[in-house]
Structure 1
Amino acid sequence: MTCVDHNSKMKMYVTSIFFIIIGIIFTIIGMILVLTWPSLFDYILHNQLSLTPGSKTFKMWQKNPIPLYLDFYFYNWTNANELKNPNVKPNFEQIGPYRFKEEKFKVNITWNSNDTVSFKQQRYWYFVPEESNGALEDVITTINVVAVTAAFQTRYEGYFTQQGLSLTLSAIADLTVDRSISQLLFEGYEDPLINMAKTMENLQHLEIPPYDKFGWFYERNGTRDFDGVFNMGTGEEDPTDFGVLKNWNFNSRTRFYKNECSMVNGSAGEFWPINPEPTEITLFSNDLCRSITYEYEKNVSVEGLNGYKFTAGDKLMDNGTMYPENKCFCNGECVPSGSVNASACRYGAPAFVSFPHFYNADLSYTNKIEGMHPQKKKHSFYITLEPKTGIPLDVAARLQINILLQPFEHVALFRNVPKLFIPVLWFEQKARISPDMANDLKQLLSIPEIGCYVNWGMLSFGLLILLIVILNFYINYKSEDKAEKMISRWGQNGTHRQMIKTGELPTANGVKSASIYTE
Structure 2
Amino acid sequence: MSLLKISATDCKEKEANETLDDFNEFVYENGKTKWGDRLCGVVLLIICSLNLIIGIFLSSNNLIDMLIEERTKMRPGWLPMEDWKNPKHIPRIYVHVYTIENPYNFKEGIDKKLKLKQLGPIVYGYKAQQKDVVFEDDGTLSYTTVREFEFLKEESEPGIMNKTITIVNPAMIILAAKSGRHILQHFENIYLNNTVYHILWNGSTKFTNLIKSGFSYLLPTDNFGLLYNTFRLFKERYNVRIGPKNKIEDFWKINTLNGKTKLLHYNNFRGFDDCPFSVVNTTDGTGFPPYLTKNHTFRISITRIPRHFILEFEKELIDKNINTYKFTVSHENFMRTYDSKDCLGNYKGIQLPSGLIDASTVAYDFPFAFSNPHLYGFNGEWETNIEGLSPNKEEHESYLIMEPLSGVPLRGQFGLQSNSFFGDLSSLPKLKAFSNKIVPMFWLQMKSDDFGYTTLIYYCLYWLPVLQVIVAVICLLLGVFCFYLAIKKLMILQKNDMKFNQETVKRKTEVIEYDY
Same fold (TM over 0.5): yes
| Number of the residue aligned with 1:376 | 393
CA distance in 2, matches of 1:407, 1:63: 49
| Number of the residue aligned with 2:357 | 340
Greater length-normalized contact order (CA 8 Å, ≥ 6 residues apart): 2
Given candidates 134, 148, 161, the residue that maps to 1:123 is 148
Give the AA of the match of 1:390: G
Secondary structure in 2 matching 1:91: strand
| Number of the residue aligned with 1:51 | 74
Give the AA of the match of 1:382: Y
Secondary structure in 1 matching 2:255: strand
Given candidates 232, 237, 251, the residue that maps to 1:230 is 237
The C-alpha deviation readout for 1:220-272, integer Å capped at 9, x for no partner, is 77x7xx23222132513323343333222321102355688511142212211
Q: CA deviation at 1:310?
A: 0.7
Matched, 1:212 2:222: yes
Q: 1:412 to 1:86 in 2, by over 3 A?
A: closer
Q: 1:233 to 1:448 in 2, by over 3 A?
A: farther
The C-alpha deviation readout for 1:474-516, integer Å capped at 9, x for no partner, is xxxxxxxxxxxxxxxxxxxxxxxxxxxxxxxxxxxxxxxxxxx
Could you tell me which runs of 5 or more consecutive residues in structure 2 were left unpaired when the two chains were aligned.
1-43, 265-270, 484-516
Given candidates 286, 289, 303, the residue that maps to 1:273 is 289
Q: 1:451 to 1:219 in 2, by over 3 A?
A: same
Secondary structure in 2 matching 1:424: strand
Q: CA deviation at 1:295?
A: 1.4
| Number of the residue aligned with 1:185 | 200
* TM-score using structure 2 length: 0.72
CA distance in 1, matches of 2:168, 2:229: 21
Give the AA of the match of 1:180: T
CA distance in 1, matches of 2:284, 2:277: 16
CA distance in 1, matches of 2:249, 2:76: 19
Given candidates 262, 266, 277, the residue that maps to 1:262 is 277
Q: Quick check: 1:99–1:131 contact (8 Å CA) kept in 2?
A: yes
Q: CA deviation at 1:273?
A: 1.1
| Number of the residue aligned with 2:88 | 65
Could you tell me which runs of 5 or more consecutive residues in structure 1 were left unpaired when the two chains were aligned.
1-18, 155-161, 467-519
Q: Quick check: 2:201–2:224 contact (8 Å CA) kept in 1?
A: no
CA distance in 2, matches of 1:59, 1:20: 41
| Number of the residue aligned with 2:3 | none
Q: Quick check: 2:126–2:147 contact (8 Å CA) kept in 1?
A: no
Secondary structure in 1 matching 2:71: helix
Give the AA of the match of 1:376: K
Q: Quick check: 2:133–2:141 contact (8 Å CA) kept in 1?
A: no
The C-alpha deviation readout for 1:170-222, integer Å capped at 9, x for no partner, is 33212211121111223443453366357548x4xx8x53x32211222777x
Within 5 Å, give how 1:385-404 maps onto structure 2. Answer: 385-404=402-421
Secondary structure in 2 matching 1:367: helix
Given candidates 184, 187, 192, the residue that maps to 1:169 is 184
* TM-score using structure 1 length: 0.72
Q: 1:331 to 1:337 in 2, by over 3 A?
A: closer
| Number of the residue aligned with 1:251 | 260
CA distance in 1, matches of 2:374, 2:162: 24
Secondary structure in 2 matching 1:329: coil
Query: What is the percentage of aligned positions where both structures have the same residue?
Result: 20
The C-alpha deviation readout for 1:27-82, integer Å capped at 9, x for no partner, is 998677555x24x6423322135334333223212222113222111111011212
Matched, 1:327 2:327: no
Q: Quick check: 1:319–1:334 contact (8 Å CA) kept in 2?
A: no
Give the AA of the match of 2:294: P
Q: Quick check: 2:355–2:377 contact (8 Å CA) kept in 1?
A: yes
Secondary structure in 2 matching 1:271: coil
CA distance in 1, matches of 2:353, 2:71: 45
Q: Quick check: 2:230–2:304 contact (8 Å CA) kept in 1?
A: no
- For the aligned residues, what is the CA RMSD? 3.8
Q: 1:334 to 1:219 in 2, by over 3 A?
A: closer
The C-alpha deviation readout for 1:100-121, integer Å capped at 9, x for no partner, is 2233333344443332212031
